[in-house]
Amino acid sequence: MKNEAKVVAITGSSRGIGRAIAVTFAKAGYDLILNGRQTVDPELITEIETIGRQCVFVQGDVTDETTATQIVATAFERFERLDVVVNNAGITKDKLLMAMSAADFKAVVDVNLMGTFNVTQVAFTKMLRQRSGCIINLASVIGQHGNAGQANYAASKAGIIGLTKSVAKEGAKRHVRCNAIAPGMIATDMTAVLKPAMTDAILAQIPLNRFGEPEEVASAALFLAENQYVTGQVLTVDGGMTI
């Protein structure tokens, strides 16, 4: 019997924003394909199953084309459909440009941009055939405005924005949409390591005077998945930081 529930695949879904997106989509009635480089947290699986949704975990690195193929193939093998892909997997290797090695630059671009491309290309092909689908890419305000010490991260996220707009134009005639989310400072493991003085300096730049929560990015992703008339857009979720 063909699966009637919508299906979402989320990369980098083991923790932080990716985990919040998984739970938010489960609560909205989606079945899930989860992905991460490390073993999934059993508590996440339990939480999703308690909500009443099904989920499958595909372990692997999105820089590997085989992993990208497996994520998409698993959706069709298990659920016979794929409605939404959220490209969330990403890393940082922050250094000032003069101290940044080519390896530092390439590592971030490979995961953030090439990983997004790998999964998008496989999913996009399937979605064109089914004449429906939505791809959501996690960009960043850094990709829109740049930041000292993050040339590699900024380049990768700016690339994601360009990729998003191009995919949106290519997919529109077959009802395949593609959008991006540009989070600002979100309370995750990445921001938890900031020193108090740095945190205070950043908060001074945010009109809402707080970091965002992963669930607030997740609700933006669900909006983009559900609104059928939004494509090629970058939704900034930053508390007014870039006003």
For the annotated binding site, the residues are 12-15, 88, 153-157, 186
Q: Kindly report the backbone phi and psi dihedral angles of residue 234, in degrees, each rounded to the nearest multiple of 5, phi listed first.
A: -115, 110
Enter the tokens of residue 231.
């494509």
From the annotation, which residues make up the binding site for NADP(+)?
12-15, 88, 153-157, 186
Enter the tokens of residue 225.
């998945």
Pairing of strands 133-138, 234-237: unpaired
30 is catalytic: no
Size of the chain, expressed as the number of residues it contains: 243
The CA-based angle 65-21-121, given to 5 degrees, is: 25
Cβ neighbors of 77 (< 8 A, separation 6 or more) are: none
Phi-psi region of 108 (alpha: psi -120 to 50; beta: other; left: phi over 0): alpha
220: nearest Cα among 238, 237, 242, 207 = 237
Cβ-based neighbour number of residue 235 at 10 Å: 17
Rounded Cα gap, residues 26 and 47, in angstroms: 9
Contact criterion met (CB below 8 Å) for 217 and 16: no
Contact criterion met (CB below 8 Å) for 186 and 214: yes
Place of tokens 């250094």: 95
Q: Which of 25, 30, 124, 153 is catalytic?
A: 153
Question: Looking at this protein, which amino acid is placed at residue 8?
Answer: V
Residues belonging to the active site: 153
